[in-house]
Structure 1
């Protein structure tokens, strides 16, 4: 009886020791994973380029935003006059057509003065599919929108509206009204806020696999799946703050409309968002 009692005692102590070792290893793994996600290895920034590719035509970036995990979002008007390396002065959206996303990233790095590295070229179909995968997004529409897009007529009343994928795409692409491209950037900022709010809502967690599939099938990126997931996790943990427009003024130069950047104000916008 004494021997059996000793064996049970030893077994109990051994079981507790194994449990402590297992919990210790689990804690180490969690800490390593957290360090891998959180520590600043590689770039925490990404350029999102909305491609306007149509058929065999060279693709220009219809939408240009730079986002930083734990920072903010800097929207760059597509007509911004910049120096494209190896090309010369042109609109910033032409960099994609001249040298692909790599040249677009290099051009934006020279404009902002920060290293970006990562890019994701998003087909407009991604907007439609991601919004539908989320079950719609809710935005505040300042002015009524009504026009034809892709052979269909779309009408969105002013006010707080829940949009499906097609309506959301029409919302972010609309350039009508007196503010034209700048007004569209404002709508894209509203769209990004709404998209982040929906995607990070606990009630939408069950939809994330559908969202991930919609994104991955419509995105061209230089990030591998692990790097993309890591950056997405960092953005999830740290969040993304304010969305700002790269400052400038609209000007016509030789009959062509440009957004001429204000470099001093631009440096402040960069510091507040993606520096």
Structure 2
């Protein structure tokens, strides 16, 4: 399974208006790294029986969203299907301490997407939320019971470090009007362990990548990456294009297909040792809402998702534009963002105009 992982990225956030008017890159019908990790877990748990991994049950951490958020949440509509907020965290704690660069306090949601599965569960759409997006954070209750007030124009990825995942869920629900049925988070050590467990992922790049920040050095051509290299690949932003987070989103999306291809080529059912190793790596790094925080619940959820073909999954980015006061930040573009969230909330078709982002020339 060969994939051309082009390093072409959108124009710089600091470019002139003329440069920003470039034609947007073609839409890529792929998914994100965190989502694939969860789909792999779904294949393992749903395909082989959760009872084989009962001793992994205690690996999973759970967050009681109803208790943390309260009743002030969007209404769950009968046509809204399933909506899952998926986060990839860049915590420097525990096994993650050696996986990052620089000294970063606490943790941030490095990757965030809303996975929408319509009624019938045969297709899926993943909406990526750029971490540099300026949002209004609602009042939230932290894990210690203390409250933090609402605040405007805060960076989206700062919500996690300040108030935890429940506040991220509440923020996404407030900005979208879409009720999140579930929440899933995987940290970087889990992603690295997944890649190493399957023996690496083969990628092809058409331009060299040299990123001193992530340590990634790749010549143009085909490479088989181990877990550490893959982690650097999906986190690199200084080694390709303009160094923006918007460009990295495209690179992460492309990596997903290559990773899925490696998983599909392997006989997981015929290799219990490898399957256990993958499951152990993922569950040890997985946090979910309390309704999914067990192998039994994950197995049931996984089985309900078996009809979703990742090859048909559409990943789009929340339409954003550059902030007029701070060109290094983006804000939701209107009316595109409202059109997008309405379609997901009501189970309608997402209009083409809502799939285009002004910040990428759309």
| Matched residue, 2:233 | 171
Farther off after superposition, 50-59 or 87-96 = 50-59
Change (3 A) 1:171 1:75: same
CA distance in 2, matches of 1:165, 1:193: 16
| Matched residue, 2:328 | 257
Change (3 A) 1:71 1:128: same
| Matched residue, 1:82 | 135
Are the aligned partners of 2:89 and 2:186 in contact in 1 as well (CA < 8 Å)? yes
Which secondary structure state, in structure 1, belongs to the residue aligned with residue 251 of structure 2? helix
Are the aligned partners of 2:178 and 2:344 in contact in 1 as well (CA < 8 Å)? no
TM-score calculated relative to the size of structure 2: 0.57
Deviation at 1:197, TM superposition (A): 3.7
Does residue 91 of structure 2 align to residue 53 of structure 1? yes
Across the aligned residues of Structure 1 and Structure 2, the Cα RMSD in angstroms comes to 2.9
Farther off after superposition, 103-112 or 155-164 = 155-164
Deviation at 1:182, TM superposition (A): 0.8
Q: 2:279 aligns with which of 203, 212, 218?
A: 212
Task: Work out which of the two has the higher radius of gyration on C-alpha atoms and give 1 or 2.
Answer: 1
Q: Which residues of structure 2 form unaligned runs of 5+?
A: 1-77, 94-103, 118-122, 140-149, 348-362
Higher-helix-fraction structure: 1
Deviation at 1:91, TM superposition (A): 1.2
Does residue 133 of structure 2 align to residue 62 of structure 1? no
Q: 2:308 aligns with which of 226, 234, 238?
A: 238
Farther off after superposition, 241-250 or 112-121 = 112-121
CA distance in 1, matches of 2:282, 2:249: 21
Within a 5 Å distance, the mapping from 1:1-275 to structure 2 comes to: 44-55=82-93, 57-69=105-117, 70-86=123-139, 87-89=150-152, 90-148=154-212, 153-176=215-238, 177-201=241-265, 203-205=267-269, 206=271, 207-222=274-289, 223-225=292-294, 226-240=296-310, 241-251=313-323, 253=325, 255=326, 257-270=328-341, 275=347
Give a deviation string over 1:189-215, Cα, whole Å, max 9, x none.
Answer: 112333334334563443433222111
Deviation at 1:256, TM superposition (A): 7.1
CA distance in 2, matches of 1:136, 1:73: 25
CA distance in 2, matches of 1:193, 1:47: 20
CA distance in 1, matches of 2:266, 2:83: 25
Which secondary structure state, in structure 2, belongs to the residue aligned with residue 236 of structure 1? coil
Farther off after superposition, 56-65 or 92-101 = 56-65
Matched pairs, number: 233
CA distance in 2, matches of 1:84, 1:192: 30
Higher-strand-fraction structure: 1
CA distance in 1, matches of 2:341, 2:203: 26
Farther off after superposition, 219-228 or 203-212 = 203-212
Q: Which residues of structure 1 form unaligned runs of 5+?
A: 1-39
Give a deviation string over 1:143-162, Cα, whole Å, max 9, x none.
Answer: 32223467xx4312334433
